[in-house]
Structure 1
Amino acid sequence: MRKWKKFGFAVSLASMLMLTACGSGGSSAGNSGGASGSEILIGVQTPTTGSEAKMGQDMNNAIQLAADEINAKGGILGKKIKLVFADDASDPQTATAAANKLVSQGVAAVVGGYSSGAVLPASGVYHNAGIPMVVTAANSAKIPAQGYKEIFLINGTTVHQAEAAADYMTKKLGAKRIALVHDNSAYAKDLAELTKKSVGQAGGQVVAFEAVNPDEKDFTTLLTKLKNAKPDATYWTAYYAAGGLLIKQFKQLGVPGAIGVGDGSNDKTLIDIAGKDAAEGTFVTTSPTAEFIPGAKAFLDAYKTKYHADPGPYSALAYDGMRLLADAITRANSTDKAAIVKALKETKGFKALEGDIAFKDDNTLEKSNFIVLVVKNGTFALPQ
């Protein structure tokens, strides 16, 4: 999930950055363009502490798996990939420190990025250093809006998600009257506003546009407004903890129409909080997770064999991010940062698990990768 998190800035130096390296000790690549001896240094920025640590570790696992597979086939340009991990804790200040540390380590490129709030400041650091970053999860439209030529997003943006939500509600569900609810967090509000625009373009009408507190527990006042507005569909753009309660109370109060959620609520906990019966039929817009990708069986099997666990929601994207970087360096025939940026920009038809990758002028995906799932018998499934 691509949350825009706000954290306090009182972070100790010890918790600001945890940096480890795969293979031998973390020596700097100096001015060698990210190559040191027989290795190419690739930075990995994810949260491995804080509330999103599990998501970050799942991404790290997938990136490590991809690097191991590439190294087993001879590496890149005759050199082995050496990953340098930096913890951004999904926190802006920590992310800035993590990015500066990776720059000082002399990495050729960076892959990862879970939280938009962490990627936004870190991307400025990479831009100033000329270092390319393949962002594999964070997807706020504010990231490409910065105009940094070095930053590439391989997950659909909030614009893509808004279009997917509006399309599903107006076409698949036949909804004409739409209610939108967010929690005033930057990411959720951004998605709600973009969805409002997309609903209008799709011929629908937004009959309610409401905000609640992020820690809201009682949605009676909101749901009474929605019930009176008589929506055909309601779309929650924030996160699963409050989202689960909203769905539960939505059904209890008998609000008409369908209810759906954005990717910030793509978590089994949403169903647990709402209850299996109340959650039944809820739709969720999300980037594709590995179990719903037709060509991902080999990745799933390899991940489970290596880590004895299922991949996380953004593991497939992280895996492809590492593979895309390796492909770009190979096509550039160099670890020169500018050459890698150029090769990434020229990417056409790269075979990723989620589909072919090519970039628009703003370095976002040429084609949206968002899908829609529905809750069926207590789990997420593809709609019929």
Structure 2
Amino acid sequence: MIKFGWLNGITGDYSSYYEPSQAAVSVAIDEINDNGGVLGKPVELVAADNLSTVEGAVQGFSRLVDVEGVVAVGGVESTGGLAIRDSANELEIPVFCPGCGTPELDDAGGEYIWRITGSDTDGGTIAAQFARDEGIQRVAIMAQNTEGLSEPADIFKEVFEEGVGGEVVADVRFNPGRSSYQAELAQAFDANPDAVYLAAGHEAGSVILREWQRRGYGGKFFVSPDLVTPPIGSLMPELEDGVAVGAIAAYDTESPAYQSFAERFKAKTGEDPAAGVYDANQYDQYIALALAITKAESTEGADIAAAIPEVLSPGGVEVFSYADGVRELEAGNEINYHGASGTLDLNDANNLAAPLFGEQFIVDGAWTQVDVLELDPALSEVLDR
């Protein structure tokens, strides 16, 4: 038996991602085991709740590694990924981050951590690009004081001011876990912005948006990726049709890997995959991990870490499933796994070389992709100055 760890926010701010993420990883584990397991052994998934906090991530990682004996860990978000990064490197435990947007992983995530989604650096920049393209000149920021939420707000502010030439008329930071944010809302909207950039977790974001509705402020929101989730999509009709705008990692829906995953995901859940909850990324991490172990012919952390770039980078036979990847590897061929979430080609910092982003509106109670975005290179260069 080979154990894979899944360290996820089952409770707390990230809990809205849990059910579709859990379904996606189940699809991956079933696919691996239905095709002979890994190195002839069945795979078991061991889950731990990171409580959507730093402390919970550290405790959950310790249990998975020290008690359960997992060979690798997946599922973590920005908070958890940063919390366990040093321990993963020290203990040589490979870690996949299917939803870690934090800019702290942009340049050097560590030898044992791989991010297979886009960065919040890109997300904050794209939000500023939205504002520019819609002629927005005055923006108020409301941002939660937690890892993974304050950073994209800082990036948005820098790009909006220096790249777009806009004005941030209020910059309101708040702590989560409160029953009301009326004072913060008043501070933002009393500045008469053309739009509000809201970076918050699901719990605080829901409270803020309901208070916004009750007070009839009107206006427009650009939201961080953490709010592009089904519960926010169905929260209220006042946010529909472009009132709330988000940008999240987009899927390559034409890929055979996506189409196969989507069919099995829908059979399990009754729903289509949704890019906003990173379900295809959650699936991809375990297929990639199983292929890396097959390539390495080892479950030692250092061997797996060396093999991960080898099964995800250009140059080999392109494969779209675990079975096809194993077949090519057993034939002695190099492979390039193209995942359900898209190409997983990596750069030198263990991040995606070319992530896709989709512009999202709420339509009929659900976030809906209205466009696939290309980031304006001129705005990205603002951050390099």
* TM-score, normalization by structure 2: 0.76
Q: Are residues 175 and 331 of structure 1, via their aligned partners in 2, closer, same or farther at CA, if it must alter by over 3 Å? A: farther
Please state whether the residue corresponding to 2:96 is helix, strand or coil: strand
- For the residue of structure 1 that corresponds to 2:70, the secondary structure is coil
Of residues 342, 353, 378 in structure 2, which corresponds to 1:366? 353
Q: Which residue of 2 aligns with 1:33?
A: none
| Residue aligning to 2:165 | 204
Residues 247 and 278 of structure 1 are in contact (CA less than 8 Å); yes or no, is this contact kept in structure 2? no
Match status 1:87 vs 2:74 = no
2:343 is aligned with 1:356: yes
Q: CA deviation at 1:334?
A: 2.6
The Cα of 1:318 is off from its aligned counterpart by: 0.5
C-alpha displacement of 1:189: 1.8
The alignment-based identity, stated in percent, is 24
Aligned residues: 334
Residues in 2 aligned to 1:362 and 1:209: alpha-carbon distance in whole angstroms? 34
Query: What is the alpha-carbon distance in structure 1 between the residues aligned to residue 273 and residue 16 of structure 2?
Result: 11
Structure 1 unaligned runs (5+)? 1-38
Instruction: Note the alpha carbon deviations across 1:105-145, whole angstroms, 9 max, x for none.
Output: 3322211113x223322232222111111111232223456
Matched, 1:133 2:120: no
For residues 100 and 106 of structure 1, the distance between their equivalents in structure 2, rounded to whole angstroms, comes to 10
Does structure 2 conserve the Cα–Cα contact (< 8 Å) formed by 1:87 and 1:98?
yes
SS at the partner of 1:323? helix
Q: CA deviation at 1:177?
A: 4.2
2:36 pairs with one of 67, 71, 74: 74
**Deviation readout 1:183-213 (Å, 9 max, x if unpaired):** 3334322111011223245433233241153
Structure 2, gaps ≥5 residues long = 315-336, 372-385
Alignment deviations for residues 48-84 of structure 1 (CA, whole Å, 9 cap, x no partner): 3456445334323211211211221222333332222
Check 1:200–1:246 CA distance in 2 against 1; reply closer, same or farther (3 A cut). farther
Q: Equivalences for 1:271-290 in 2 at 5 Å?
A: 271-273=233-235, 275-281=236-242, 282-288=244-250
Deviates more, 1:322-331 or 1:140-149: 140-149
Structure 2 distance, partners of 1:88, 1:201, is 37
**1:154 positional shift:** 0.8
Return the match for 1:315 from 269, 279, 282.
Answer: 279
Deviation (angstroms), 1:355: 1.4
Between the aligned partners of 1:277 and 1:304, the Cα distance in structure 2 is: 29
For the residues of structure 1 that align with 2:234 and 2:270, how far apart are their CA atoms? Answer: 24
Q: Pick from 340, 353, 359 the counterpart of residue 304 of structure 2.
A: 340
CA distance in 1, matches of 2:151, 2:137: 22
Contact 2:140–2:188 (8 Å) recurs in 1: no
Cα shift readout 1:322-350 (whole Å, capped 9, x = no counterpart): 11112222332332321211222343153
Q: CA deviation at 1:243?
A: 4.4
Q: TM-score if structure 1 supplies the norm length?
A: 0.76
The equivalences for 1:35-46 within 5 A come to 39-46=1-8
Which residue does the alignment assign to 2:380? none
Selected match of 1:110 from 73, 77, 89? 73
Look up the SS of the partner of 1:187 in the other structure.
coil
CA deviations over 1:89-112 (Å, ceiling 9, x no partner): 223223222212222233222111
Query: Quick check: 139-148 or 152-161, which moved more?
Result: 139-148
- State whether residues 45 and 88 of structure 1, in contact with CA within 8 Å, keep that contact through their aligned partners in structure 2: yes
Query: What's the counterpart of residue 264 of structure 1?
Result: 226
1:244 alignment partner, one of 205, 209, 231:
209
